[in-house]
Amino acid sequence: MKITKEKLTLISLSLEGVFNYKDFVMIDKYAGGYDKFWDLSPICIENLFPRAVEKRNRIMKILLNPQEYKKRIIDLDTQCQILTIFDDCYPESLKNIYDPPFVLYVKGSLRWDIPLVAMVGARKASSYGKWAAREFSRKLVKKGIGIVSGLAYGIDALSHEGALEGDGYTIGVLGCGIDHIYPAANSKIYERVLRTGAIISEYPPGFSPQKHYFPARNRIISGISNGVFIIEAGEKSGSLITADFAMEQGREVYALPGHITHSLSYGTNQLIQDGAKMVLKPEDIVDEFESKQLLKKTVCSESNDFPNLSVKEHQLVKLISKKETSIDELVYLMDLPVWEINSMITVLELKGMVTTMGGRLFTSVR
């Protein structure tokens, strides 16, 4: 990753973990651009945050130690992908919400070339909800729709599992750093998602789960998705926060109806009464996506030679197809960290696009 002054500013601020969307916007306007952040004087910073002593101190800490932050970013870049809001691979749909995260930390392979539906619901799900989460996600991925959820207990975990059982694509959005597996009981699902999907968070690695992180995380779940499907939700379920975000962002909200006497159906039944689309079978969402031509979109595809590949996967396959290539060569040619090359190769092997040819050499099988 090439660290421009702009990127150094955004990621350094993100690493401090105390600056929100409005702070980022104010800093940009006050400095005259993120690249000019490094020219701010102590007086300017005091005027920018007159009552926020901690934020002033954090900014001074960054300004006094630019090389330290640059080193931290370089180290992080070997562990994960860091996307700023100005990067080409930052999801356009997320960029357009009211308060997008300025930085995303990613493990695994991002795909924006397929439609995505968020599936969320109760942590203490009923047998009905558990069945629906697994069954619907498994069938939706068979139709080419990716599943987004929060890797929490209950509906979230089962939605990811169903997608994996259907050999589909799934994204887990965390309310902590991507190096934290929370809850720990979902470690196996976390690892399985990483093999063919992605784990993302706006919180830097090292940040432990905090109660207030999770509602904020929900805006990302809905923000990267084309629609949000609520499986089960009680009267005060956090899933209803995701539904609210979806409506604010102009996303379609779908809900699974339930028995009127069951507490976990109160939220979903209320959503339907308030105008959410009732879903009785996976085909209801598929038909909706097809009517909106979402199943035909190819946002990240550069060529029809390799359908259903991300831009980076497409580039890698093109390079490999010319000759047997080592991982070191791919790292150099694509200017990407080793972990990301390895992650893409794993995904492409599962797709049958590449194969190992002894040692660490790979060749296209197409």
- pLDDT confidence of residue 333: 80
Domain assignment of residue 184, yes or no: yes
Quick one: 139 and 265 in the same domain?
yes
Percentage of the chain beyond pLDDT 90 is 77
Q: Does residue 31 register a pLDDT over 90? A: yes
The predicted pLDDT at position 336 comes to: 81
166 and 213: one domain? yes
- Per residue in 259-288, pLDDT (tens digit) is 999 999 999 999 999 999 999 999 999 999
Whether 189 and 287 share a structural domain: yes
d(CA 72, CA 3): 12
Residues 19 and 24: their CA atoms lie apart, in Å, by: 7
Length of the chain: 366
Verdict on whether the full-model pTM lies above 0.85: no
pLDDT of residue 295: 79
Q: Are residues 210 and 254 in the same domain?
A: yes
How many Å apart are CA 268 and CA 356, to the nearest integer?
48
pLDDT at 318 (0 to 100): 78
- Whether residue 146 sits in one domain with residue 261: yes
Residues 126 and 263 in one domain: yes
Give the three-state DSSP class for 267: helix
Relative orientation angle of helices 66-77 and 5-16, to the nearest 10 degrees: 90
Residue 165: domain span: 108-296
Residue 48: which residues within 8 A CB-CB, separation 6 or more? 26, 27, 30, 40, 56, 59
- In the predicted model, is pLDDT for residue 300 greater than 60? no
- The percent of residues above 70 in pLDDT, for the chain, comes to 93
pLDDT digits (tens, 9 = 90+) for 321-348: 767 778 888 887 887 888 888 888 888 8
Cα distance between residue 250 and residue 226, in whole Å: 9
Q: What is the CATH number of the domain that holds 328?
A: 1.10.10.10
> Residue 94 domain-assigned?
no
Domain contains 302: no
Pairing of strands 103-108, 81-84: antiparallel
In which residue are the tokens 């992650």 written?
A: 343
Q: Say if residue 50 is preceded by a cis peptide, omega within 30 of 0.
A: no
Those residues whose C-beta lies under 8 Å from the C-beta of residue 251, and which sit 6 or more positions away, are 222, 225, 226, 227, 228
pLDDT at residue 362 in the model: 65
Q: Does the structure show a pLDDT above 80 at 356?
A: no
Alpha helix segments (H runs only) across 92-212:
92-95, 127-142, 155-165, 187-196
| DSSP strands (E only) in 64-153 | 81-84, 103-108, 116-120, 146-149
Q: Which of 60, 77, 94 is the last residue of a domain?
A: 77
Contacts of 269 (CB under 8 A, 6+ apart): 255, 257, 258, 260
**What is the number of other CB atoms lying within 10 angstroms of the CB of residue 302?**
14
User: How large is the average pLDDT for residues 177-197?
Assistant: 94
Instruction: Decide if pLDDT at 308 tops 70.
Output: no
Query: What's the pLDDT tens digit per position in 225-260?
Result: 999 999 999 998 999 999 999 999 999 999 999 999
Q: Measure the CA–CA gap between 52 and 30, rounded to whole angstroms.
A: 16
Regarding whether 189 and 141 lie in a shared domain, the answer is: yes
- Residue 303 forms part of a structural domain: no
One domain for residues 352 and 224: no
Same domain, 178 and 219: yes
267 with 353, same domain: the answer is no
230 sits in which H/E element: strand 227-230
Average pLDDT of span 130-147: 97
Q: What is the pLDDT of residue 76?
A: 95
How many angstroms separate the CA atoms of 156 and 16, rounded? 29
Q: Supply 213's token pair.
A: 């992180």
Domain boundary among 261, 296, 331: 296
| Residue 307 reports pLDDT greater than 90 | no
Each residue's pLDDT tens digit, 70-103: 999 999 999 999 999 999 899 999 999 999 999 9
> Using CA atoms, how far apart are residues 46 and 42, in angstroms rounded to an integer?
6
* Predicted local distance difference test score (pLDDT) of residue 302: 36
User: How many distinct structural domains can be found in the chain?
Assistant: 3
Residue 322: φ, ψ to 5°: -80, -35
Check residue 230 and give its pLDDT.
98
Query: Which one is predicted more confidently, 357 or 339?
Result: 339
